[in-house]
Amino acid sequence: MAITSGTSSHSTASHSPATHGASTLGATPRPEAPKPSGLVYLGLGGLAVVAFIIFWITGVSGNILLIPLGFVTLWAPLYPVIGLAVMLLTLLVCFRARTNTMGAFGALAFIIMSYWAGSTVNFTLLEIPERWSNVEPRLMAFLDPNWSYIWTVRDQWLITLSMAVVATLIGCAIGLVLAMFASPVSSPNKGVSQAIKAVNSVIRSIPDVGWALLFVAFIGGTAHGLGPMAGVLALLMFNIGIVAKLLSETIDSVNPGPVEAADAAGANLTQRNRLAILPQVLPGFVSYGLYVFELNIRASAALGIVGVGGIGSAMMLQLNRFAFENVAAILIALIIVVLLVDMFSMYIRRKLL
């Protein structure tokens, strides 16, 4: 027993230094980041000062910051001073946190671009308290919607849904064909692929509201009884651009095995696309179609404002009459419709995918 105990003690003693060494090795602290260059940070501070001067010269705000210093009072524009303080404080935090110079420059550039964009559109939150007397009655009207008004515009709701359905079906079908020609995997040659991509880029560069304005100008709006037609055509172009873009990228990433097998069997381009590519992208195509349908519900309501009919036209009419309780009822009903469509789309995606 004594020999066994001694052996056990010796074994424990022989293993404990290794265990201690392993635990010490695991507890080694991570090395600190190197201290950034102070000269570079001084240069970034100079850049902040230059941006402050530019904002001071180009600013049009009348808010002035007064700094009394006893016998003299200094003044400066309020918002550029706040911007300078934010930039310098950000550089100080980055320097104390040992942020590399590129990270500090990125943070400084973000602040400068944000200030420039906000000052360009005169963005400020200080006017909200000043205009609260105008906001409060409108807000109270929105909080008390006129639910009975929803049933009086049921025809406009039907027009909105019909535009979305027609545009989705036709737009997705055309988008599928364009996607097949746009992807180099399913296109006859590179020239056709590049040409279709260029056309699709032009289509996507014009927003849905732009297409609606164009078609209203070309064929007429609600005043001529052709508003829904202009809306369908606008949504149609919008859908073609989205579906063709997303689906062509899906075709680019299909499994090459079935495509190579179809080529080896002597299939032509149409047979290869139908048997080897289309089955692989069909679930994604259905998903994109449902996504586009959701977009069309919202977009068709917005397009009604520019004269294509539907619930958007009714909402614009009530806004012009300052009937905010009716507008609130339309908006809440629109939210419910979009949520229901989204839930239905999720259910279909789950069943198909």
User: Of 158, 150, 156, 164, whose CA–CA distance to 311 is shortest?
Assistant: 156
222 with 298, same domain? Answer: yes
Kindly report, residue by residue over 140-190, the tens digit of the pLDDT. 877 888 888 888 888 888 888 888 899 999 999 999 999 999 988 888 888
What is the torsion angle, in degrees rounded to the nearest 10, for the CA atoms of residue 283, residue 285, residue 290 and residue 293? -170
Tokens representing residue 15 in the block: 């293993």
User: Of 285, 308, 272, 50, whose CA–CA distance to 163 is shortest?
Assistant: 308
Kindly report, residue by residue over 89-122, the tens digit of the pLDDT. 998 888 888 888 888 899 999 999 988 888 777 7
Final residue belonging to a domain, choices 124, 157, 181 = 124
**Whether the predicted pLDDT of 10 surpasses 50:** no
42 with 166, same domain? Answer: no
Where are the extended beta strands (E) located within the chain? Answer: 64-68, 73-77
Q: What is the pTM of this model?
A: 0.67
CB 217 within 8 A of CB 281: no
Tokens representing residue 345 in the block: 């789309």
Mean pLDDT across the stretch 213-240?
80
Final residue belonging to a domain, choices 89, 124, 159 = 124
Tokens representing residue 333 in the block: 């009903």
Question: What's the half-sphere exposure (Cβ side, CA atoms, 13 Å) at 178?
Answer: 24
290 with 161, same domain? Answer: yes
65 with 213, same domain? Answer: no
- The three-state secondary structure class of 73 is strand
**Whether the predicted pLDDT of 72 surpasses 80:** no
- The three-state secondary structure class of 13 is helix
276 with 323, same domain? Answer: yes
Q: Which residues contact 319 (CB under 8 A, 6 or more apart)?
A: 327
95 with 163, same domain? Answer: no
Which residues span the domain enclosing 302?
148-352
251 with 286, same domain? Answer: yes
What is the torsion angle, in degrees rounded to the nearest 10, for the CA atoms of residue 150, residue 151, residue 154 and residue 160? 20
Beta bridge partners of 76: 65
- Radius of gyration of the chain measured on its C-alpha atoms: 32
Q: Determine the Cα–Cα distance for residues 251 and 274; give it in Å rounded to an integer.
A: 12
Q: Determine the Cα–Cα distance for residues 182 and 277; give it in Å rounded to an integer.
A: 14
